[in-house]
């Protein structure tokens, strides 16, 4: 039919007559749409902040960088449920959880006030301090351990006996956001004047004066790669070195430690810059007291096997500052 056209079985528009299916002209329909859009925008502008953002003063948002949101939600929720009622005296009435896919996204959430509290390992925590101004609230003790260190190891028959022997050799890190198996050990190698270059594969050639590195993505892979000769050196925390599931005893018998870092905090609780000081102080108090409260036992256990939260002492603060400098060095020189 001349002047008429149907789309996907819908009522045809009369283009020749310039008519909308409801009988109005296209001009009038367009004006209606414009008016409706304007009203929506005005309504959004007039809406209270609590409707548009997650940083409502009565809501405490706990964040986590996660590649398994369902699992992490189940780990975070019990402690959040424990904390929120105990912050009622400072105006907190609700708790929420917000996951981020990476450090960059979490830093954005913190800067925009969408996340109030984050639990992380020291390296990532210091990245959030640099990128978003996040502040250290407390140290986190897990499985009764509040501090650990990184351990470098090689095969006993490799001829390597110290970190200064690494030039022209390869090292297996875990993943790019690991504190114990990337940030801290990479910073230690840079501090010693070693140059790090990423390898495409274990077979990739290494320049004589450089240290080639690869990511193995798990501690068991690191130990396996070194044991099988796919990497000359591996690095992991001293806790993983002692864990038979991550360092099989049959492997460790053929390996030896060639270097260690100083101790540093295992995990850190961070809060965003600008969080209400009353909320921050009360949150700190509740978390510190949780270890002595039987009602918190299950929540702490599910919160990454936390045994207690601890104030940041002077030595730990120095270690965190050292990690912060190291992370910045790694970002600048390696990435």
Express each pLDDT in 134-145 by its tens digit. 999 999 999 999
Helix (H, G, I), strand (E, B) or coil at 271: strand
Q: What is the mean pLDDT of the chain?
A: 87
pLDDT bracket for residue 335 (50, 70, 90)? confident
Average pLDDT on 277-297 reads 98
pLDDT attached to residue 208: 84
pLDDT attached to residue 31: 42
| Contacts of residue 175, Cβ cutoff 8 Å, sequence gap at least 6 | 181, 182, 215, 217
Q: Is the pLDDT of residue 39 over 80?
A: no
pLDDT digits (tens, 9 = 90+) for 47-67: 333 333 344 679 999 999 999
pLDDT attached to residue 109: 98
pLDDT attached to residue 115: 98
Q: Is the pLDDT of residue 196 over 90?
A: yes
Q: Is the pLDDT of residue 287 over 50?
A: yes
Q: Is the pLDDT of residue 329 over 50?
A: yes
Q: Is the pLDDT of residue 229 over 90?
A: yes
Instruction: Determine what percent of the chain is predicted with pLDDT higher than 90.
Output: 81
Distance CA(273)–CA(54), nearest Å, equals 15
pLDDT attached to residue 21: 41
Token output for 57 = 């003063």
* CATH 3.40.190.10 location in the chain: 56-146+267-328, 150-261
Backbone angles phi, psi at 125, to 5 degrees: -60, -40
pLDDT attached to residue 57: 77
pLDDT attached to residue 134: 98
Strands 210-215 and 170-173: parallel
Helix (H) or strand (E) holding 330: helix 314-333
309 strand-pairing partners? 140
Among 25-34, 169-178, 284-293, 313-322, the range scoring the smallest mean pLDDT is 25-34
pLDDT bracket for residue 151 (50, 70, 90)? very high
CATH code: domain 150-261 is: 3.40.190.10
Using left for φ > 0, alpha for ψ between -120 and 50, and beta otherwise, residue 148 falls in beta
pLDDT attached to residue 315: 97
Q: Which residue has the higher pLDDT, 239 or 7?
A: 239
**Beta carbons of 114 and 107 less than 8 angstroms apart:** no
Helix (H) or strand (E) holding 264: strand 264-265
Q: Is the pLDDT of residue 33 over 60?
A: no
pLDDT bracket for residue 325 (50, 70, 90)? very high
pLDDT bracket for residue 318 (50, 70, 90)? very high
pLDDT attached to residue 68: 95
Average pLDDT on 307-334 reads 97
pLDDT attached to residue 51: 31
Residue (of 262, 206, 255) closest to 233 by Cα position: 255
pLDDT attached to residue 8: 35
Average pLDDT on 120-127 reads 97
Average pLDDT on 187-200 reads 96
CATH code: domain 56-146+267-328 is: 3.40.190.10
- What is the pTM (predicted TM-score) of this model? 0.81
Average pLDDT on 172-184 reads 97
Q: Is the pLDDT of residue 13 over 70?
A: no
């Amino acid at each position: 039919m001349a002047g008429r056209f149907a789309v996907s079985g819908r009522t045809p528009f009369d283009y020749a007559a310039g008519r909308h299916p409801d009988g109005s002209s296209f001009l009038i329909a367009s004006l209606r749409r414009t008016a409706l859009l304007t009203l929506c925008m005005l309504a959004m502008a007039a809406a209270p902040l609590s409707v548009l953002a997650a940083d409502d003063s009565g809501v405490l948002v706990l964040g986590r960088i996660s590649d398994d949101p369902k699992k992490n939600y189940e780990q975070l929720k019990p402690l959040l449920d424990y904390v929120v009622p105990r912050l009622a005296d400072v105006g907190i009435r609700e708790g929420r959880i917000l996951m981020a896919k990476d450090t960059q996204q979490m830093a954005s959430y913190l800067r925009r006030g969408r996340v109030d509290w984050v639990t992380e390992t020291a390296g990532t925590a210091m990245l959030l301090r640099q990128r978003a101004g996040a502040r250290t609230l407390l140290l986190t003790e897990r499985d009764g351990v509040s501090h650990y260190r990184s351990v470098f190891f090689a095969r006993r028959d490799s001829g390597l006996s110290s970190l200064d022997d690494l030039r022209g050799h390869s090292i297996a890190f875990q993943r790019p956001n690991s504190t114990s198996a990337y940030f801290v050990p990479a910073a230690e190698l840079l501090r010693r004047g070693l140059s790090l270059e990423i390898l495409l594969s274990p077979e990739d050639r290494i320049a004589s004066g450089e240290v080639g590195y690869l990511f193995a993505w798990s501690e068991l892979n690191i130990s396996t790669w070194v044991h099988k000769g796919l990497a000359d050196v591996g690095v992991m925390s001293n806790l993983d070195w002692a864990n038979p599931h991550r360092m099989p005893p049959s492997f460790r018998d053929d390996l030896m430690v060639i270097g260690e870092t100083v101790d540093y905090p295992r995990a850190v609780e961070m809060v965003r810059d600008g969080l209400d000081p009353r909320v921050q102080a009360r949150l700190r108090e509740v978390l510190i007291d949780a270890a002595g409260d039987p009602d918190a036992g299950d929540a702490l256990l599910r919160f990454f096997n936390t045994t207690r939260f601890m104030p940041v002492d002077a030595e730990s603060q120095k270690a965190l500052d050292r990690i912060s400098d190291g992370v910045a060095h790694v970002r600048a020189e390696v990435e």
